[in-house]
């Protein structure tokens, strides 16, 4: 591949990378917000409280993301109630279908990360908070969740990287994110190896930037020191 071809198609690759960042960014942030109550419920001692989140997490962790993507994009259109609802303009758009599916998928994994982090909060800190007169809700918001954030941050950073790679599946529903754009350009130029190698390098650059960002965040929160106490 000559530099002229690379320069010609670089803006298209950057457009695909921008769409990839949108998919990953929106899904992992929305997934985190959705996963917080799921993770808290999963860590409950009461079976009725944790049963429904367990069923949700079991389904989305036990089935492939590609299958879930097809169920949302192709499956929901089979129901008249969905096509006649106010959500249909969004559910027929592959962009929003990918956002919805990736959000639901990553929320299941993040919920388990939160559950594990909550259960690894030292019992002595919780007992100390209760001894100081804190209610259960105050202990949860001021002691347990901040501590669990530091414990679960490394695992959450891994989930973000995994979702970056999983976003390539969005190309199967016609989205021209990074992988979809590489496939489109390769079909036009017949330079399949070169175009997919370029996409792979861009993925590596994005992953490297994300990893360095999380390292700085962990250092700022002093995650290692917190876990070592």
DSSP-assigned states of every residue in 74-89:
IIGGG-HHHHTSTTHH
Q: Which residues contact 1 (CB under 8 A, 6 or more apart)?
A: 191, 194, 195
Residue 99's pLDDT band, with cuts at 50, 70 and 90, is: very high
Looking at the 3D structure of the chain, how many domains does it have?
1
Average pLDDT score over the chain: 91
Least confident of 129-133, 184-188, 195-199: 129-133
**Domain containing residue 60:** 1-221
- Does the pLDDT at position 138 exceed 60? yes
In a domain, 226, yes or no: no
The larger pLDDT score, comparing residue 133 to residue 96, is at 96
Burial class (CB in 10 A: 0-12, 13-18, 19+), 111: buried
In a domain, 69, yes or no: yes
Residues recorded for the chain:
229
For residues 43 and 119, the answer to whether their CB atoms sit within 8 Å is yes
Token couple for 74: 């192709």
Per-residue pLDDT, averaged over 87-102, amounts to 94
- Does the pLDDT at position 192 exceed 70? yes
In a domain, 122, yes or no: yes
Residue 53's pLDDT band, with cuts at 50, 70 and 90, is: very high
In a domain, 205, yes or no: yes
CA end-to-end span of the chain, whole Å? 54
What percentage of the chain has pLDDT greater than the value 90? 66
In a domain, 229, yes or no: no
In a domain, 227, yes or no: no
In a domain, 52, yes or no: yes
Rounded to two decimals, the pTM is 0.90
Q: Residue 37's domain is classified under what CATH number?
A: 1.10.3720.10
Q: What is the pLDDT, as a whole number, of residue 3?
A: 81
- Does the pLDDT at position 227 exceed 70? no
In a domain, 228, yes or no: no
Angle at 36 between CA 56 and CA 224, to 5 degrees: 120
- Does the pLDDT at position 47 exceed 60? yes
What are the angstrom distances between the C-alpha of 183 and each of 16, 64, 189, 213?
11, 22, 10, 29
Whole-angstrom Cα distance, residue 150 to residue 145?
9
């Amino acid at each position: 591949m000559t530099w002229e071809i690379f320069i010609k198609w670089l803006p298209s690759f950057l457009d695909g990378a921008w769409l990839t960042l949108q998919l990953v960014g929106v899904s992992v942030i929305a997934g985190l917000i959705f996963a917080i109550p799921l993770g808290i419920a999963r860590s409950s001692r009461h079976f009725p409280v944790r049963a429904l989140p367990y069923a949700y997490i079991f389904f989305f962790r036990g089935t492939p993301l590609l299958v879930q993507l097809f169920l949302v994009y192709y499956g929901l259109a089979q129901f008249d109630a969905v096509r006649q609802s106010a959500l249909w303009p969004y559910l027929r758009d592959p962009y929003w279908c990918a956002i919805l599916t990736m959000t639901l998928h990553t929320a299941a994994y993040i919920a388990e990360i939160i559950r594990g982090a909550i259960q690894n909060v030292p019992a002595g800190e919780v007992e100390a908070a209760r001894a100081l007169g804190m209610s259960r809700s105050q202990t949860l918001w001021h002691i347990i969740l901040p501590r669990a954030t530091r414990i679960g941050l490394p695992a959450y950073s891994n989930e973000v990287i995994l979702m970056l790679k999983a976003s390539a599946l969005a190309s199967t529903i016609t989205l021209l994110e990074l992988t979809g754009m590489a496939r489109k350009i390769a079909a036009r130029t017949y330079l399949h190896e070169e175009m997919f190698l370029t996409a792979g390098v861009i993925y590596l650059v994005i992953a490297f930037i994300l990893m360095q960002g999380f390292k700085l965040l962990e250092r700022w929160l002093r995650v290692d020191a917190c876990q070592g106490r």
